[in-house]
Amino acid sequence: MSETKALEGLSDLRSEIDRIDTEMHALLMQRGEIIDRLIAVKARQGGGSAFRPGREADMMREIASRHHGRLPLDTVESIWRVIISTFTYVQSNYSVHADLSGGDSAMRDSARFHFGFTVPLVGHATPGEAIAAVAGSGGPDAGGDLGMIRAGFHAEDARWWERLAAADAPKIIARLPFVERPGHPAGTPVFIISNPLAEAAATDVALFSAQGGGAAPDVSGWAAQGCDTLGQSEGEGFSLLLSAPGDWDADRLKQLPGGAALDRIAWIGSHAERFALPA
């Protein structure tokens, strides 16, 4: 192939890339126009939450399932997460209140990967502070905010999940990252919380706060029966953060070996089953 033909070939390819970029931009603007119509329809129907964790999970599951080719899935996941989060922000302005007690860098990476830079990020010293900020932000239909808390135990606020137990307290609506894989660029497991959603929740996995007096029961066999212990604190009784199938309730938890020791059990939210890439 002559040098002239090679240069002509590169020019053609670059023109094709420019065409695709223009079309992608046009499609994003069209998506924005649909959001305007969506806001109008919701207003006519009496409103509705801008946060749709169930729909988000379905979208991400479909994207991860169909993806192939040279473009890394990390990039695709981040692009769509930012698109979803930004257009949600366009519908109803909100901030993300991140608990930074477990490490500022990892949590900021997670926030930016999943929410981009348009959505304001507010840092807090403890999970309790982040939860309080969400609780005081109003409902999701009134510009309510989201919280982001590292999943599991926190030395700074050892029983943070108890703050979600009251019926009107914020609840867990998602666990990120949604697409699980080794080496994820924002792989720190985090819970997303919001003020209670009247609809659109993802309910594959249920979360519970459970307490009792005395020593904690032996939970070593609970995972085999479907219940994972994500956080545990002892002292003046014990407190557990539990994850179970979405159709479990307090009675089912009490049927676990040693479960009779659970004196107080509260449902504190739910999330979609995360998507694991085939090995």
| Residue ranges per structural domain of the chain | 31-41+48-202, 207-270
pLDDT of residue 71: 94
Question: Between these two residues, 250 and 52, which has the higher pLDDT value?
Answer: 250
Rounded CA separation 267/19 (Å): 50
Encoded tokens for 92: 């109803």
Looking at the predicted structure, is the pLDDT value of residue 1 above 60? no
- For residue 235 the two structure tokens come to 């002292």
Q: Is the pLDDT of residue 239 over 90?
A: yes
What are the angstrom distances between the C-alpha of 268 and each of 74, 136, 182, 195?
Answer: 30, 18, 28, 11
| Closest listed residue to residue 124, CA positions, set 139, 137, 141, 113 | 137
Q: Write the Ramachandran bin of 117: left for phi over 0, alpha for psi from -120 to 50, otherwise beta.
A: alpha
Beta strands in 117-168 (DSSP E): 121-124, 146-150
Residues 86-99: what's their mean pLDDT?
Answer: 91
Query: Locate tokens 């507010």: which residue?
Result: 122
Q: How many CB atoms lie within 10 A of CB 46?
A: 7
- The pLDDT of residue 235: 83
Please give the Cα distance from 165 to 245 (Å, whole number): 18
Element (H, E) at 96: strand 96-99
pTM reported for the whole predicted model: 0.89
Of the pLDDT bands very low, low, confident and very high (cuts 50, 70, 90), residue 279 is: low
pLDDT digits (tens, 9 = 90+) for 185-221: 999 999 999 998 866 688 999 999 999 998 899 999 9
C-alpha span between 60 and 214 (Å, rounded): 43
Q: Which residues contact 52 (CB under 8 A, 6 or more apart)?
A: 88, 200
CA angle 193, 201, 186 (to 5 degrees): 50
Tell me, what DSSP letter sits at residue 143? T
The CA-CA-CA angle for residues 272, 275, 279, to 5°, reads 160
Q: Could you tell me the pLDDT band of residue 139, with boundaries at 50, 70 and 90?
A: low
Q: What is the mean pLDDT of residues 53-77?
A: 91
**Alpha-carbon span 249 to 153, nearest angstrom:** 22
Please answer whether residues 111 and 98 qualify as being in contact, where contact means their C-beta atoms are separated by less than 8 angstroms: yes
What pLDDT, on the 0 to 100 scale, is given for residue 140? 47
What's the token pair of residue 278?
Answer: 């085939």
> Rounded to whole angstroms, how far apart are CA atoms 121 and 123?
7
* Partners of 207 in the β-ladder: 243, 269
Residue 212's beta-bridge partner residues? 238
> Count of CB atoms within 10 A of residue 277's CB?
12
- 192 contacts 146 by C-beta, under 8 angstroms: yes
